[in-house]
């Protein structure tokens, strides 16, 4: 028997044999496409499968005896091509291009549906936004539009929609672009947390290619603006860009109140260890010394910059629009009664309150926020923030939405933007059965509510009790269980290495 030949000898001989036998293309495949697999295995099997001559058989028989399994090079080529095509999507340009095309396609589909269907694609909130923008363009107050409950900044941003019908969808393009920018920050945060770019892009696709996210933004919901603001805030904090973080936090709270829940977590997270300094901790210190140590320059700077930003915006808006600005932008949400499209267990109580107004000093809509505030601004930050800020913010947002007296599908985006950051080290991925169960329960319990809500709002069937109430409680309990898993995951995580503080 001839001695075993080197790898290059074998491949070269396969090529020459292929030419002699009329199998040139197969020899070329062996030389080009077998690299990701075992050269010896694929080259030898290629020769055997195509019936090479006896001399070649003798030359490579020792290598064949060492092979494990049977895999033809042609099949390997197809497998490689398929995998390469999928991997090609998870690169920056293809992924973001696909996400942009998805949103543009949905935008134009929405225009068609609005023009040809009785059921409109455009969200009613977008009509409120554009009406307020039109009033603003006319020199009037955006609050002349009833039910406009937002900062005037949003109406200012959408003023181009008032110029002509051709510009009506301008705001939708802005919101869709905000989705993409949020995806950019998601990738940067994941890379900052030690996730490789390819894997980071795959997780970012949970947001970028999510049809629910794309639908909500292209229907005209402004939640994408909050998504990019919160992601930029988290990135700035992790990069120790304190002044920028303060600006974003102040702006975010002005734009939509709920980002204030992140302030306690960020402040608690900003200790000597996470900021890359040596500290003696609080052990052995007096109360005064511990307080002085807590009031670090970075914490003070964050508080001052965020407060100045928030108050400056409010002062400017109040000077222009007066009391209606404060009432509609802030005070309204404390006493808000909204029982339509509301997944919250408070739904029935809010409906009864709207039908039979109470004269009691303490009303349910005014105190319903207490449990969510306790969870999202005190308990969860204390437990999780120092261990993993991103997971803490995810859990805080999830708790805030779950326990909110008004819970709509748009609010789900508030925590969905954190999913790509939370999932890589989560129990839901480590235990696929747990993840599949959580997803199934979340979808099924939500679908049960939607079925009851459809009968109520579209068919006029009274499903308030037990149908709507039971489905609301079921969805609430599922979310509480998921929240428990998230908090448990956060408690087991370790904060990433620190970097130098940037001002």
Torsion of CA 156, 159, 160, 163, to 10 degrees: -160
Element (H, E) at 500: none
* 145: its two tokens: 């539009």
* Cβ count within 10 A of residue 140: 12
How far is 490 from 380, CA to CA, in rounded Å?
10
Question: In tens digits, what is the pLDDT along the chain, a chain of 503 residues?
Answer: 444 444 444 444 443 444 343 433 333 333 333 433 344 444 444 444 444 444 444 444 544 444 444 444 454 455 445 555 667 888 999 999 999 999 999 999 999 999 999 889 999 999 999 999 999 999 999 999 989 999 999 999 999 999 999 999 999 999 999 999 999 999 999 999 999 999 999 999 999 999 999 999 999 999 999 999 999 999 999 999 999 999 999 999 999 999 999 999 999 999 866 676 665 555 667 888 778 888 899 999 999 999 999 999 999 999 999 999 999 999 887 766 655 668 988 887 777 766 666 655 566 666 778 889 999 999 999 999 999 999 999 999 999 999 998 888 899 999 999 999 999 999 999 999 999 999 999 999 999 999 998 888 778 888 888 888 999 999 999 999 999 999 999 988 765 544 444 55
Q: Which residues contact 7 (CB under 8 A, 6 or more apart)?
A: 39, 40, 43
* 358: its two tokens: 């109470």
* 229: its two tokens: 């603001």
How far is 348 from 243, CA to CA, in rounded Å?
44
Q: Which residues contact 87 (CB under 8 A, 6 or more apart)?
A: 198
How far is 268 from 425, CA to CA, in rounded Å?
22
Q: What is the pTM of this model?
A: 0.80
How far is 417 from 104, CA to CA, in rounded Å?
20
How far is 396 from 262, CA to CA, in rounded Å?
8
Contact 449, 478 (CB under 8 A): no
How far is 476 from 402, CA to CA, in rounded Å?
7
* 380: its two tokens: 């969860």
Contact 414, 397 (CB under 8 A): yes
């Amino acid at each position: 028997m001839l001695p075993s030949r080197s790898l290059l000898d074998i491949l070269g001989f396969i090529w020459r044999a292929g030419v002699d036998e009329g199998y040139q293309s197969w020899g070329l495949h062996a030389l080009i496409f077998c690299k990701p697999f075992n050269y010896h295995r694929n080259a030898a099997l290629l020769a055997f499968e195509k019936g090479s001559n006896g001399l070649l058989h003798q030359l490579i028989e020792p290598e064949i005896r060492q092979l494990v399994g049977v895999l033809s090079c042609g099949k390997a080529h197809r497998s490689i091509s398929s995998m390469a095509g999928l991997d090609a999507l998870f690169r920056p340009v293809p992924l973001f291009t696909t996400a942009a095309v998805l949103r543009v396609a949905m935008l134009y589909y929405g225009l068609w549906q609005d023009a040809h269907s009785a059921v409109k694609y455009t969200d009613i909130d977008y009509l409120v936004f554009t009406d307020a923008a039109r009033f603003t363009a006319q020199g009037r107050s955006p609050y002349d539009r009833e039910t406009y409950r937002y900062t005037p900044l949003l109406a200012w941003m959408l003023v181009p929609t008032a110029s002509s019908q051709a510009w009506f969808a301008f705001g939708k393009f802005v919101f869709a672009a905000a989705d993409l920018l949020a995806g950019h920050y998601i990738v940067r945060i994941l890379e900052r947390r030690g996730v490789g770019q390819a894997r980071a892009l795959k997780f970012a696709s949970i947001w970028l290619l999510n049809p629910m996210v794309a639908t909500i933004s292209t229907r005209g919901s402004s939640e994408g603006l909050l998504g990019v603001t919160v992601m930029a805030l988290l990135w700035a904090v992790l990069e120790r860009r304190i002044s920028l973080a303060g600006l974003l936090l102040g702006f975010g709270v002005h734009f939509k109140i709920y980002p204030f829940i992140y302030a306690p977590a960020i402040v608690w997270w900003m200790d000597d260890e996470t900021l890359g300094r040596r500290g003696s901790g609080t052990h052995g210190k007096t109360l005064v010394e511990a307080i002085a140590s807590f009031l670090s320059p970075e914490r003070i700077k964050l508080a001052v910059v965020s407060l100045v930003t928030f108050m400056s915006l409010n002062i400017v808006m109040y000077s222009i629009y007066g009391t209606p600005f404060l009432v509609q932008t802030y005070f309204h949400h404390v006493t808000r009664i909204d029982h339509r499209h509301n997944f919250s267990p408070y739904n029935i109580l809010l409906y009864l309150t709207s039908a039979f107004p109470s004269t009691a000093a303490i009303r349910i809509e005014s105190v319903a926020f207490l449990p969510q505030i306790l969870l999202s601004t005190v308990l969860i930050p204390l437990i999780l923030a120092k261990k993993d800020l991103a997971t803490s913010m995810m859990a805080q947002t999830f708790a805030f939405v779950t326990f909110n007296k008004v819970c709509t599908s748009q609010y789900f985006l508030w925590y969905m933007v954190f999913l790509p950051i939370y999932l890589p080290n989560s129990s839901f991925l480590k235990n696929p059965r747990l993840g599949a169960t959580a997803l199934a329960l979340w979808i099924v319990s939500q679908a049960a509510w939607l079925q009851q809500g459809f009968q109520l709002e579209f068919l006029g069937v009274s499903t308030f009790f037990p149908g709507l109430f039971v489905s609301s409680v079921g969805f609430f309990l599922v979310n509480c269980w998921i929240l428990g898993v998230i908090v448990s995951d956060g408690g087991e995580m370790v904060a990433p290495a620190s970097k130098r503080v940037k001002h």
